[in-house]
């Protein structure tokens, strides 16, 4: 596919177009629904959304197997973007499965909820496949506006409205900085196309001072989206106030989409000015890894704890951009896969444990979970171990790949910081596991657990699926490492 004809672009963006069509279908289906019962309506909308994800995944597979490419277009149809699409589709698919029982129980607006998840995923997929800064901005806005609405979709929750407003205001500010950075890069290179920008940098025709400022402003925009310290201040409050499945989605899909785009822009196309931004990101990475893990030690709310945990993981992933080699790219894709599985599996368990009340989210409430729900406690332990990077889990292999990539470029200090911050994180991950297995249930939990509530089949299936894959990635990682290695953007 040489992209000499307009319809080639429609083929290149078939997964995004199909997902958009299904998002609109969900809205239309919701608008024309009859009185068939709310539970049936929510499930039907969820299944339509899942069908859209499966269709987009099939289109993605066809593009992958036909080996198309677009070296001069504004959309990259390469192995990297297609693997990125699969990671994002996996994220939204698992989120929708988690959401079905939650939306039923909390009586959220199902058509809008599922449609916004799909629209947000479209924006993230557009971002990760873009070879044009303006198209990245469009994808960023599609995703951002959808997430702002999702954060505040529970109209009965004052905390949800506050979370949505806070995310919107701070997000708009960071978007303005990002857009100003785009303008400066355009002024420095006379182009917003990443390939042409890289060419201008290589030939030395770019205005260096203007390009430096523009590059830093682009980095600030990305750092806000992936919650890098000190651009993370919105994260704990927004995570705490948003509905549980929305928090889960923000913690994995939004982070994954932003990091995949961040890597393409900086580690590949702005590699020629690596000297101008690598030291800044080096400082931010260490500050993020160490600072977030230290603050996480003091958290008692599970959402806030996982917010700071996610911030720390952003610090780990930032190392892959700084090192910018083939090994670090494999580490990025592998780590994101393991992180998506572990975090969404963990949130699936939390969604069930929280039951009817969003207030049942204190870490102490997980005391004795192993005696009441041993299967849930076992899978949650696996997820916590993967996030901590214990051997035998996908998270461990991901961290090894990140360390290997950093060592190849002699970033010893980043490796030391990653290892030390990982050791710090063991405390709060193991604390939750210890509460579940070694401590007696709280008094109110004992009273409620005389007849344990059965877990919905959907959530149970998610726990089995994600925990098995995490262990598989930890014990037999070679196949996935080889697969993501084929998606290398490095020459």
Q: What is the pLDDT along the chain (491 residues), one digit of tens a residue?
A: 555 556 666 777 889 999 999 999 998 887 776 545 566 778 889 999 999 999 999 998 888 887 655 545 788 888 888 899 999 999 999 999 999 988 888 878 888 999 999 999 999 999 998 888 999 999 999 999 999 999 988 888 778 888 888 888 888 889 999 999 999 999 988 888 888 888 888 887 878 889 899 999 999 999 999 999 888 888 898 998 888 999 999 999 999 999 999 999 888 888 777 777 888 899 999 999 999 999 999 998 899 999 999 999 999 999 999 998 889 999 999 999 999 999 999 999 998 887 645 556 788 888 888 888 889 999 999 999 999 999 999 999 999 999 999 999 889 999 999 999 999 999 999 999 999 888 877 655 544 545 567 778 888 999 999 999 999 999 999 999 999 888 877 65
490 and 326 in contact (C-beta within 8 Å)?
yes
Residue closest to 319 by CA, chosen among 398, 215, 236, 402: 402
Distances (CA, A) of 305 to 189, 426, 432: 43, 13, 11
Other CB atoms within a 10 A radius of the CB of residue 25 amount to 17
The full set of domain ranges for the chain reads 6-485
Tokens 């029982």 sit at which residue?
Answer: 101
Alpha-carbon gap, residue 122 to 17, rounded angstroms: 8
Residue closest to 188 by CA, chosen among 204, 212, 211, 205: 211
Alpha-carbon gap, residue 271 to 6, rounded angstroms: 31
The whole-number pLDDT of residue 231 equals 87
Tokens 């859209």 sit at which residue?
Answer: 52
Cis peptide before 230 (omega within 30 of 0): yes
The whole-number pLDDT of residue 79 equals 86
DSSP annotation string for 199-224: HHHHHT-S-HHHHHHHHHHHHHHHHH
């Amino acid at each position: 596919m040489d992209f000499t004809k307009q319809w080639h672009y429609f083929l290149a963006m078939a997964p995004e177009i199909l997902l958009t069509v299904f998002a609109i279908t969900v809205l239309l289906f919701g608008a024309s629904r009859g009185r068939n019962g709310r539970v049936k309506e929510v499930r039907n909308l969820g299944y339509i959304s899942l069908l859209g994800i499966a269709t987009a995944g099939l289109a993605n597979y066809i593009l992958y197997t036909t080996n198309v490419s677009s070296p001069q277009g504004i959309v990259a149809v390469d192995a990297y973007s297609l693997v990125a699409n699969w990671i994002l589709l996996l994220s939204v698919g698992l989120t929708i499965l988690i959401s079905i029982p939650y939306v039923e129980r909390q009586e959220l607006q199902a058509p809008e909820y599922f449609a916004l998840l799909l629209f947000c995923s479209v924006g993230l997929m557009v971002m990760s496949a873009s070879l044009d800064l303006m198209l990245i901005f469009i994808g960023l806005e599609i995703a951002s506006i959808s997430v702002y609405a999702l954060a505040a979709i529970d109209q009965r929750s004052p905390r949800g409205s506050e979370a949505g407003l806070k995310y919107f205001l701070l997000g708009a500010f960071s978007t303005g900085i990002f857009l100003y950075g785009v303008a400066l890069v355009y002024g420095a290179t006379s182009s917003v196309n990443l390939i042409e920008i890289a060419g201008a940098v290589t030939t030395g025709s770019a205005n260096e001072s203007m390009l430096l400022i523009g590059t830093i402003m682009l980095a600030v925009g990305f750092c806000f989206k992936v919650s890098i310290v000190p651009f993370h201040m919105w994260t704990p409050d927004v995570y705490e106030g948003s509905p549980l499945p929305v928090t889960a989605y923000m913690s994995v899909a939004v982070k994954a989409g932003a990091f995949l785009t961040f890597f393409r822009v900086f580690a590949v196309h702005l590699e020629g000015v690596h000297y101008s931004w690598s030291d800044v990101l080096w400082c931010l990475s260490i500050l993020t890894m160490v600072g977030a893990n230290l603050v996480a030690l003091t958290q008692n709310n599970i959402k806030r704890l996982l917010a700071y945990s996610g911030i720390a993981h952003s610090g780990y992933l930032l190392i892959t951009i700084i090192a910018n080699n083939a090994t670090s790219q494999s580490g990025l894709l592998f780590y994101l896969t393991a992180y998506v599985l572990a975090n969404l599996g963990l949130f699936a368990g939390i969604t069930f444990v929280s039951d009817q009340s969003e207030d049942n989210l204190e870490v102490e409430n997980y005391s004795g979970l192993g005696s009441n729900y041993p299967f849930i406690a076992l899978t949650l332990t696996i997820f916590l171990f993967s996030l901590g990077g214990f051997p035998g889990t996908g998270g461990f292999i991901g961290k090894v790949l990140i360390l290997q990539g950093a060592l190849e470029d002699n970033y010893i200090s980043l490796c030391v910081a990653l290892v030390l911050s990982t050791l710090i994180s063991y405390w709060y991950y193991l604390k939750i596991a210890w509460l579940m297995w070694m401590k007696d249930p709280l008094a109110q939990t004992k009273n409620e657990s005389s007849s344990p509530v059965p877990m919905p089949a959907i959530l149970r299936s998610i726990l089995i699926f994600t925990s098995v894959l995490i262990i598989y990635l930890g014990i037999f990682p070679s196949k996935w490492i080889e697969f993501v290695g084929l998606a290398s953007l490095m020459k």
